[in-house]
Every structure is written in C-alpha cells, then in structure tokens.
Homo-oligomer: A and B are copies of this chain.
Amino acid sequence: MAQPTIVIIGAGFAGLNAAKALKHVPVNVLMIDQHNYHTFQPLLYQVATSGLDAGDVAHQVRATFHQQQNFRFQQGKVIGVDWEAREVVLEQDQRVAFDYLIVAAGAIYHDFGIPGVKEHGFFLKSLSEAVNIRSHILRQFERVNSNPELVADGALNFVIVGGGPTGVEMAGALAELFDIVLPKDFPEVDVFEARVYLVEMGDRLLSPYDPDLSQYTERVLRQRGINVRLNTAVKEVHAERVLLSDGSELATNTLIWAAGVRGHPLVDVLGVELTRGYRAAVAPDLSIPGHPEAFIVGDMSGVTDKDGNVYPQVAQVAIQQGKHAVKQIINQLKQRPTEPFSYRDLGSMATIGRSAGVAELSDMFLNLKFKGRLAWLAWLFLHLIYLVGHQSRFNVFANWVYNYFTFDRHARLITDMQPSPAELANKSH
C-alpha cells in the first residue's frame, strides 16, 4: 500500500491522542508500548493509597481503538531508532519501518544524583509502582502489628518528597487512609503514630499555582496532620532513614519520590540534543532537528514557550502536543509548512484529600481560581471525563461514591506486581 506508516512510541496521553487524531487520515498507524494498556497516571496515587483497583486506571490499548480501522498495536520495548533505514529498533533486534515517527515515551523519576533514591525510593509513574507502593505501605502496618517495636525504627513514618501535585495528592490521600480506614483494620496498632512527611525544597507547595492556593493547600495538609517541611531538600536516602538538608534525619522505610521526573531514557539514544530534565530540545513544531519526519511529544518533549520555559509535564500538554504532531504530519503530507506548537492552558487542579482541592482555570472569559469542596468536585468530574474506557469510568465513579459514603477503601490488598523489564532496568542502571 502506498499509504504512509506513522509509528507512535508510547500509549500515554500524548500517544493515545495522536493516534486518535489520525483516525480519518489515510495512513497506517502503528503504536508500540511495552505494556498492552494505557495507564491513567493522574489517578495512580489513588491506587497507591487503596482507593482504586489497578484495573480501574489501566485500559487496554487495543480495546480503545476497536473502531479505528487504520490502527495497529504492537507490545514491545523500543531501544532505539535507525534513522538511516527509517526503522524503529525493538528488543531482540526486531525492526519496524516508519515514514513518520511520533515519540511519546513519557518520563521516569529523576533522582538529581541524590544517593540512595534509585535504590530505596518508591516512584509513582507506572501501574506496578503504584501497586507496589500500596503493598509496601500496608505491609508496614502488618509488620508493626506483629512487632510493635518497629514503630520506634520508623516503620510508620512515610516520607513524600516533592510538593507538586503528585506529592500533595499522595500526602492527602495517605493521611486520609491513616485517619479513617486503617484504625479499623489495626485495632492493636496505634495508627495515630503513623506520620506523613511532605518534604519540599522550595518555599511553598504547588509552586506553579497562585500563592493563595499554596497557602490553603499547606493549611489543609497541616490540619490533617501532615508534617510539611518547606525549604528542605533530601541529601541521602538509606534503607531505613533519610538525611535532610537541614541536617536532620528521619527514620523511615518508605520514601516516595515525587520530586521530579526526567525524560524516558529512550531520549538518550535518539541523537537529539537534551534540555532541562533530560527532555528533547525539539524544534518549535515539535520535530527533531534534522529529522522533520519525527516528532517528540509529551513529557519527553522539551519544547519551550515564547518566554523560553519548558512546558509542565502534565496531561493537557501531552494531549495537545500529540494532536499537534499529527497536524504537522498532515501539513507535510499536503506539502504545507509546519506550525509551531503553542499551548492552550486550560488551567490546573489538584486534590488535597476528602472534600478539598485547588483549581485555577484560565484561557476563558475570566480567569478563575477556587479552592475547597468545589475544586475537589471539579477535579473528580474532570478526571472521570478524561478516563479512558466506559467500564473504567463506571468503576471509578462507583468506587468514589462508595469510598466517600462509607469512609472505606476497599483495595487494601498486599499484592506485589512484577515491574516491567524496562522499570527493572531503570532501578538498576
């Protein structure tokens, strides 16, 4: 067939939206991902805190595209691109030819070279990581239940590093789990001895938000018992303690690293220049300099706005970049010039736990910021809308209603998931 083949690497928000945008374009689409499912990353923290089942936030890629005739999927791990041959190289030297390429492999944790993070930290970027955090947290309570002396060793200290949305949401959900759910499970454990620390290097939480909202977030978290440590960095992580920049030390078996991410290591082998956070310094139209047929989108992409700042690594940017890359491919197919990417910021929101959230909506007639129950409800609503798959949407909604009214979290199962080979490699390199 004379139709060009567009290979998309990655089934995250960017890849998924790129593929969907190609639905009525006369091309062949081939998506490659190491997993056979899309992970709805914004809700991983709820999996990690027993609010949702793993299956609720993962949706099989093939199912998403049943109605799209020009779509194909291949499960596999991409290890590089052969630019000469215009082929994507997979493990075991499998090769897949492309005419156009969209790389959307996302991001992994970034440890900024801090010793011990890689070995002892927990991350919240993949389904198996979220499930394993959940299991690890619950296991600490089981351990203390059998041996109460472990509390003194920090078994019930949970340290979250990074005061961005992930860290804030994780801290809020964890406090809730400890306050309203686990005391019933562990009548013999003094669950109120459990401590959640939220460590942030900067001087406020949710720094991209309006300072009012940052203050509100901090106040709510402190009210809920979270030990917020601003202006504090992590210096070293050990299996049973963490050293902070103020010289203090926290005994803990659980360090959840939400302090930053870097472009997926695939970015290192594409022959593209890197910018801040190991993201690809792509051209304004998102193409790779020297490879106009290849685009890098989403968390891996280091395109800058008109002020020279890289865009935040959030779903909305990824979605818009995925669609933008498709438009540029269509432009090229029609022999038209490509256009630079510009981000339409619809705003951002985060939850801080039960009935509390913050939201900033922009780019509308008014710029709105609000907080509290309304922001929380808006967050719930929008995340349901963006969830992939009717069944997942229904399950998540039903679980939220159940959790809200019963003060329960049903998914308190200790079931470790095997990390993918790529995740294992990231842990050990």
Contact = CB atoms under 8 A, between A and B. Distances in A.
Interface of A: 35-37, 53-56, 58-60, 62-63, 66, 72-76, 94, 127-128, 138-139, 142, 145-146, 184-188, 389, 391-392, 394-395, 398-399, 402, 408, 410-418
A389 B56 CA distance: 18
Contacts of A389: 410
Given A54-B54, A402-B391, A415 B127 contact: yes
Nearest to A392: B410
A55 B53 contact: yes
Given A37-B415, A54-B55, A74-B142, 7 more contacts: A36-B412, A54-B413, A60-B410, A128-B415, A416-B418, A417-B417, A417-B418
10 contacts: A36-B138, A37-B415, A53-B55, A53-B56, A60-B410, A62-B185, A73-B145, A128-B415, A395-B398, A398-B398
Contacts of A414: 35-37, 75
B36 A410 contact: no
Given A55-B53, A413-B37, A415-B417, A186 B395 contact: no
Query: What secondary structure prevails in chain A residues at the interface with B?
Result: mixed
Contact of A413 (B55, B186, B402): B55
- Nearest first, the 8 A-B pairs at minimum CB distance are A53-B55, A391-B410, A62-B185, A416-B418, A75-B142, A60-B412, A36-B414, A37-B413
A213 to B, nearest CB: 33
A34 B322 CA distance: 45
Contacts of A35: 414-415
Contacts of A418: 415-418
A416 to B, nearest CB: 4
Contacts of A37: 413-415
